[in-house]
Amino acid sequence: IFAYPPPTPLALDCSPADWLTMELHLSGERKYLSLASIRAAPPRVISGDESAKLAGCAGAELGPLLPQLAEDETLIGVLVASDGLVSAPITAGELCRGVLLHTDAAGTLLSSLRAWFPPGVAVQPSPCGTHVGPLSLKGACCCVLLPKPVTDALAMSEARVVGHMNGDHADSCLAYARGLCGVAGATGAQMTGVSCAGFALEAAVEGEAKLRKLLVRFPVPLRHASQVRGFAVELHHAAFAALGLHYRLRHGYYRRGALMAIAGVAKAIAKRRVQLGAVGLAAAALVVAVAARRRVG
């Protein structure tokens, strides 16, 4: 399930043709590649030697569609599917060689875009986890591009963020699943990862044996890794708002908010005391220094 939190909601029951647009996040800016622009690009037809399954399918290479990739080779990107699957990070050089397939071998428009990479390019575990090979992602609907220092910083903080959310904010993770992803039957949820696309969750759902994988998109395109904490707070409030007053009362939303406010006030008072103490010490030191100087004089 692919959650677009406010202010950019996207109905999960929209027609397949609605997925034939590629959303692009480039260093915090959101743009869109229409199907018309994708089909107007130089065609790239898949050969039987490249893929027996997709032979004859036509699309457009990402390089001409995204000239930014050639302009800044430090960019790292991930591709996101309409079902919430997120690719592993891909370098700009390899992204250029990716193809957005839009038409099958018979010339019929596909129900959704498919991101496909030729043999030896963008090799990574398959979204379903059954094998390792070039990425082939059905329902590709978003590409997130960020400079490598930002993705590196995000990767370094991922374990800390995941541990903090699961250890201290399990109620937020469950609210994300229920309120933002629409999984009303979720009985528990854990964060499993953080990418430049959003928060990855696994939710236990009543009546389902397998954990359901979810993606909670950030409310706005990411610019810096330091934004993640603010996004988590914003999505916490958005999720609980979507779940209604009764849920907020039952699950301690207002109590947690009050405790956090009290803690914030206490922290501010303590900081103020430290500042006042420092001023007092400085003043005392000045008095001692003046008195010493007078004695010497």
Q: pLDDT (tens digit, 9 = 90+) per residue, 137-183?
A: 999 988 999 999 999 999 999 999 999 999 999 999 999 999 999 99
Count of other CB atoms within 10 angstroms of residue 282: 10
Q: How far is CA 177 from CA 106, 201, 242, in A?
A: 40, 8, 11
190 confidence band (pLDDT: 50, 70, 90): very high
For residue 33, give the 3-state DSSP assignment.
strand
35 confidence band (pLDDT: 50, 70, 90): confident
Provide the pLDDT for residue 16. Answer: 39
Element (H, E) at 286: helix 253-296
Q: Are 102 and 20 in contact (CB under 8 A)?
A: yes
Provide the pLDDT for residue 258. Answer: 77
DSSP 260: H
Q: Is pLDDT above 90 for 55?
A: yes
DSSP 114: E
23 confidence band (pLDDT: 50, 70, 90): confident
Both structure tokens of 251: 């699950």
Segment 68-110, tens digit of pLDDT: 888 888 899 999 998 888 999 999 999 999 999 999 999 999 9
Stretch 9-23: mean pLDDT, rounded? 47
Q: Are 54 and 101 in contact (CB under 8 A)?
A: yes
pLDDT above 90 as % of the chain: 59
270 confidence band (pLDDT: 50, 70, 90): low
> What does the buried/exposed string (b/e) look like for 18-51 if buried means 16 or more CB atoms within 10 Å of the residue's CB?
ebbbbbbbbbeeeeebebeebbebeebebeeeeb
Phi, psi of 258 (to 5 degrees): -65, -40
Separation between Cα atoms, residue 52 and residue 39, nearest integer Å: 23
Provide the pLDDT for residue 231. Answer: 95
Q: Is pLDDT above 90 for 275?
A: no
Stretch 7-36: mean pLDDT, rounded? 63
Separation between Cα atoms, residue 147 and residue 141, nearest integer Å: 21
Provide the pLDDT for residue 268. Answer: 67
295 confidence band (pLDDT: 50, 70, 90): low
10 confidence band (pLDDT: 50, 70, 90): very low
Separation between Cα atoms, residue 115 and residue 129, nearest integer Å: 17
CA dihedral of 121, 135, 148, 215, whole degrees rounded to 10 = 180
Beta carbons within 8 Å of 64's beta carbon, 6+ residues apart: 41, 42
Provide the pLDDT for residue 71. Answer: 84
Provide the pLDDT for residue 73. Answer: 85
Burial of 72 (0-12, 13-18, 19+ CB in 10 A): middle
Mean pLDDT score across all residues of the chain: 84
DSSP string spanning 171-197? HHHHHIIIIIS--TTEEEEEEEEEETT
